[in-house]
Chains A and B, each alone.
Chain A
Amino acid sequence: MIPEPAGEGLVERVREALATVHDPEIPSVSIVDLGLVETVRADEAGRVEVELLPTFTGCPALDIIALEAERAVRATPGVRSAEVRFVLHPAWTTDRISPEGRRRLREFGIAPPAPSAARPAPDVACPFCGSKDTVVESAFGPTRCRSIYYCRACRNPFEKIKEV
């Protein structure tokens, strides 16, 4: 066993490890950039506890995300045990998605949510051509967190993260 410094250094390394974990339904964005990581605690003995927030409570990817996160944390040098769990409080909101997360969503073809402070909600820009000549097709899309839009300029359907 190689002794590893605990405390702050370990928390930092665990956060880096979590940044390699992705939502399987949005593989371009890490769970850190999505704002899912609420707390990371580590003690001297290398025991780590991670609390994640679900985007939507009915998201079927939650179990896989927790499993992948636990695997990444366990593989971090200095970690002896890891517990990863989802908590409902505070509620995840789309404002938790980082600027980098928003950029990567767009890159993946998904329009990012508008910031909740923006009222009235601004026009939705097509992630493919950038046009704002878009219409909502359905509030309910292929996953719990996305709506379906249509771009009248480039005639592509696209998805957008719902504001919550």
Chain B
Amino acid sequence: MTGRGGPLRHVLLSLADDELVLGHRDSEWTAFAPFIEEDVALASIAQDELSHAAVYLRLLAEAEPDAPEDERDPDRLTFLRGPEAFRNARLLERPNGDWAYTCVRHLAYDLFDDLRLKALARSGYRPLAEAVDRLAREERYHLVHGRTWLARLGEAEGEARERLALAVGAVMADAPGLFEESPEDELAVAAGIVPAGPAALAAPWAEAMRAELAPIGLADRVPPPETLVRDARGDGPKGPLGGRRGRHTDDLSALLSALGEVYRSDPRASW
């Protein structure tokens, strides 16, 4: 369907890297979450996200059987790739911050991912269309988790309320990165790999996000779709964009260095 480095690779790496990077952030809460059930919840969600990343990376390996090992082996792609080769949205590489930021970011991402998976069920690349049904069934529990926490944090007053409002503001500032278009997206649409580029998800996402934030009085923090797809701040160090084109912040470099530390100590070891 496509040559190496083509649109299919871009689509699969965007999916895999979003899940991989956020899943790693989730795992950082292990032993630090507010209470033990949340330790288990975040560890479980991390396990889901990392295994979904593995599914996408295996699809890539199957699609490009002749690619060099460093470009197709899921372990090598995960542990040895440099940040410039990652295609995740910047929103997902930001450090965890506090619990409010963690919950709001996850919900914002899960709403986006839900829309993306629904669209991918119509992908003309059959192995991808078949896999997303399986993954969407698992992701549903992440949505419920995020919604429960948003409602719970939204009931609080005082410092909790202030932190929640700050978290919503910070997540909304980076949200345009989820809808960032790159040249490969046009090719992916033309090849039938995706029914539409990521920008097409901005309007339905903004509507879904407003619906979640309305009951706690924060719906007005969601940027209008036209701002989400045309962000003026761009891909400077503080801007939301660049991730889908491999332009990342130092936060991703630090994350990848921790993620691959053990693997790189002996890349030929068998686990």
Contacts and interface: CB of A to CB of B under 8 A. Distances in A.
Interface of A: 54, 56-58, 60, 88-93, 137-142, 144, 148, 162, 164
Given A88-B131, A89-B133, A140 B55 contact: no
Interface residues of B, number: 24
Given A89-B130, A138-B37, A57 B52 contact: yes
A89 B51 contact: no
A59 to B, nearest CB: 8
Given A57-B48, A57-B55, A164 B138 contact: yes
Contacts of A90: 133
A91 B37 contact: no
Contacts of B134: 54, 57, 88-89, 91-92
* Residue from A60, A93, A144 having most chain B Cβ neighbours under 10 A: A144
A65 to B, nearest CB: 15
Contacts of B52: 57-58
Given A58-B138, A144-B47, 20 more contacts: A56-B48, A56-B51, A57-B51, A58-B47, A58-B51, A58-B52, A60-B47, A88-B134, A91-B137, A139-B141, A139-B145, A140-B37, A140-B40, A140-B44, A140-B141, A141-B40, A142-B40, A144-B44, A144-B138, A162-B141
A95 to B, nearest CB: 12
A66 B131 CA distance: 19
A131 B45 CA distance: 30
Contacts of A91: 133-134, 137
Q: Which A-B residue pairs are the 5 nearest by beta carbons?
A: A58-B51, A89-B130, A140-B44, A140-B41, A91-B134
Nearest to A54: B134
A164 to B, nearest CB: 4
A151 B133 CA distance: 33
A54 to B, nearest CB: 8
* Residue from A57, A60, A148 having most chain B Cβ neighbours under 10 A: A57
B80 interface: no
B141 A148 contact: no
B48 A144 contact: yes
A93 to B, nearest CB: 7
Contacts of A137: 37
Nearest to B136: A91
B29 to A, nearest CB: 12
A58 B140 CA distance: 15
Contacts of A142: 40
B196 interface: no
A164 B47 CA distance: 17
A141 B36 CA distance: 11
Contacts of A93: 137
A91 B135 CA distance: 9
Contacts of B144: 139
B201 interface: no
Given A57-B55, A58-B51, A91-B137, A138 B130 contact: no
Nearest to A142: B40
Given A89-B134, A139-B144, A58 B48 contact: yes
Nearest to B47: A58
Contacts of B54: 57
Nearest to B145: A139
Contacts of A58: 47-48, 50-52, 138
Interface string B111-144: 0000000000000000000110111011011001
A56 B45 contact: no
A73 to B, nearest CB: 23
A54 B52 CA distance: 12
A25 B200 CA distance: 42
A148 B44 CA distance: 13
B130 A57 contact: no
B138 A57 contact: yes
A56 B44 CA distance: 11
